[in-house]
Amino acid sequence: MKAAIPVEALGWTSGGEVQASLPAPLLVVAAGGSHTAETILRAWFEGKADHTIRSYRQDLERFASYLSAALGISPPMDINTALAGLFAQSSPSAHEIVLGFRHHLDRAHLSAASINRHLATLRSVSKLGRMLGMMTWYLEVPGVKAEKRRQTAGPTIADVRRLLDATNGDTEADTRDYAIVLTFFCIGLRVSELCALNLQDTDLARGTTWATGKGRRERELVALPAPVIDAMRRYLLHRGSQAGPLFLTRGHARTRGDGRLDTRSVLRIVGALGQRIGLHVWCHGLRHSSITAAVEVAAKAGIGLDKVKAHSRHAAIGTLLIYADEHDRVGTQRTLADLVARTLTA
What is residue 218's predicted lDDT score, i.e. its pLDDT? 73
pLDDT 10s digits, 61-108: 999 999 999 999 989 999 999 999 999 999 999 999 999 999 999 888
Active site residue 280: no
- CA separation (Å) from 271 to 109, 137, 156, 337? 15, 40, 16, 33
pLDDT 10s digits, 307-340: 777 787 766 666 666 666 555 555 545 555 666 6
Beta bridge partners of 222: 209
pLDDT over 60 (residue 12): no
Q: State how far the Cα of 222 lies from the Cα of 261, in Å rounded to an integer.
A: 20
What is residue 153's predicted lDDT score, i.e. its pLDDT? 64
Contact 25, 47 (CB under 8 A): no
Among the listed residues 190, 260, 309, 311, the single catalytic one is 190
Contact 221, 322 (CB under 8 A): no
pLDDT 10s digits, 15-70: 445 445 555 555 444 444 578 999 999 999 988 888 788 889 999 999 999 999 99
pLDDT 10s digits, 104-154: 998 888 888 889 999 999 999 999 999 998 899 989 999 888 655 455 567
pLDDT over 60 (residue 164): yes
Torsion of CA 52, 320, 151, 144, to 10 degrees: -50
pTM here is: 0.57
Q: Estimate the crossing angle of helix 283-301 against helix 172-187, to 10 degrees.
A: 50
Among the listed residues 162, 260, 288, 314, the single catalytic one is 314
Burial of 168 (0-12, 13-18, 19+ CB in 10 A): exposed
- CA separation (Å) from 170 to 72, 174, 236? 45, 6, 11
Reduce the secondary structure of 200-250 to three states and give it as a string: HHEECCCCEEEEECCCCCCEEEEECCHHHHHHHHHHHHHHCCCCCECCECC
Among the listed residues 42, 117, 130, 214, the single catalytic one is 214
Active site residue 35: no
What is residue 13's predicted lDDT score, i.e. its pLDDT? 47
pLDDT over 50 (residue 169): yes
pLDDT over 50 (residue 5): no
What is residue 9's predicted lDDT score, i.e. its pLDDT? 46
Average pLDDT of the chain is: 82
pLDDT 10s digits, 246-256: 999 986 555 56
Q: State how far the Cα of 190 lies from the Cα of 229, in Å rounded to an integer.
A: 18
Among the listed residues 35, 102, 260, 287, the single catalytic one is 287
Active site residue 214: yes
pLDDT over 90 (residue 177): yes
Active site residue 95: no
Q: Name the 3-class secondary structure at 304.
A: coil
Q: Which position has the higher pLDDT, 215 or 187?
A: 187
What is residue 23's predicted lDDT score, i.e. its pLDDT? 54
What is residue 22's predicted lDDT score, i.e. its pLDDT? 52
Active site residue 138: no
Active site residue 66: no
pLDDT over 90 (residue 202): yes
Q: Which position has the higher pLDDT, 306 or 207?
A: 207
